[in-house]
Amino acid sequence: MEKRQLGSSDVFISPIIMGTWQAGKRNWADIKDSDIVAAIRAAVDNGISTIDTAEIYGDGYAEQRVAEAIADRRDQVELLTKVFANHLKYDDVLEACDRSLKNLQTDYLDLYQIHWPSGSWGYDEVPMAETMTALTKLKADGKIRAIGVSNFSAAQIAEASEYGKIDSVQPPYSLFWRAIEKELQPYCVEHNISIISYSSLAQGFLTGKFDLNHKFAEGDHRFRNRLYADKDNYQRVQTALDHLRPIAATNPCTLAQLALAWLIQQPQTSAIVGARNAEQAIANAGTLQVELSEGDLEKINKIGRTVTEPLDDNPMLWDWS
């Protein structure tokens, strides 16, 4: 799997990235530690060298499962993690990084990201300069190789860039969720900032396994996904999937692989995708074997817009109210 440069840093990442939100278990149902560890190992064995996690995923639990999975292969992977919105003061950033290093059983991170902008989720506002000063110190000390942000607008990235080099942004982005294409993606192209998409399969909707009658298990956060909660949206999703199936069949690939193959062909974009078990991780890695023609890419693009054009401009994928 040919790697891609992360912004202008000396870090190179795989186009498909192993996501580990589910490894923290919070807001997920029916997650088994042994399956997650096996999934991460299978991902690495099949060419997905980059693993994304965060301190907030189970308060370090996901980071610990990543460490367990890569204990004998740290030199084969790129580790990405995030500092949450309650730890953006100078000393808190340094302490949070050290906790993540301990959880991940490593002495450096390939990418350290601000998970949410200051003031998110009701936490204190912290000046961008203070947070970025801490991050640039961590970089100078060799504890992190690159700095990224997540859930930032173009304007927020521009502000952060006044105090240090930003090499990546992590927004929700998929064939069925494309708010970043209006402003954020053009900004990233202009400034050579990598886009690391999350919810790259619209939280599983692009797999085609959730029909109109699907009920999520208790504790599964996806019932709050705006694509699912609004029945008109969900009907458009089902219709779009029906139109995508013939394209997948002619390539041949799964619906998920088709959607991911389209996504990593978008400007600056690599895609995070989670897996509950080794079988799913191996299937995700198979995306790189899918070669879509220009005609296929345009057909997929038009089908996706039947879902996204009726949506409002709110970039938040969930309704947490």
At residue 215 the predicted structure's pLDDT band, cuts being 50, 70 and 90, is low
pLDDT in tens, 20-73: 999 898 877 788 999 999 999 999 999 999 999 999 999 999 999 999 999 999
At residue 232 the predicted structure's pLDDT band, cuts being 50, 70 and 90, is confident
At residue 303 the predicted structure's pLDDT band, cuts being 50, 70 and 90, is very high
DSSP category for residue 177: B
pLDDT in tens, 131-190: 999 999 999 999 999 999 999 999 999 999 999 999 999 999 999 999 999 999 999 999
Query: In the chain, what are the domains?
Result: 4-205+255-291 (3.20.20.100)
pLDDT in tens, 78-102: 999 999 999 999 999 999 999 999 9
Residue 228 annotated as catalytic: no
Helix (H) or strand (E) holding 43: helix 33-45
DSSP category for residue 222: G
- Exactly one of 57, 173, 198, 228 is catalytic; which is it? 57
Note the pLDDT of residue 217: 66
| Single-letter amino acid code for the residue at 93 | V
pLDDT in tens, 261-275: 999 999 999 999 999
Note the pLDDT of residue 216: 67
Range from 32-46, 195-209, 302-316 carrying the lowest mean pLDDT: 302-316
pLDDT over 80 at 221, yes or no? no
Secondary structure of 233-281 as H, E, C letters: HHHHHHHHHHHHHHHHHHCCCCHHHHHHHHHCCCCCEEEEEECCCHHHH
At residue 19 the predicted structure's pLDDT band, cuts being 50, 70 and 90, is very high
By CB atoms closer than 10 A (0-12, 13-18, 19+), residue 60 is buried
Query: How far is residue 3's CA from residue 49's CA, in Å, rounded to a whole number?
Result: 9
Listing DSSP states for 68-114 in one string gives HHHTT-GGG-EEEEEE-GGG-SHHHHHHHHHHHHHHHT-S-BSEEEE
**Mean pLDDT over all residues of the chain?**
93
% of the chain exceeding 70 in pLDDT: 94
At residue 219 the predicted structure's pLDDT band, cuts being 50, 70 and 90, is low
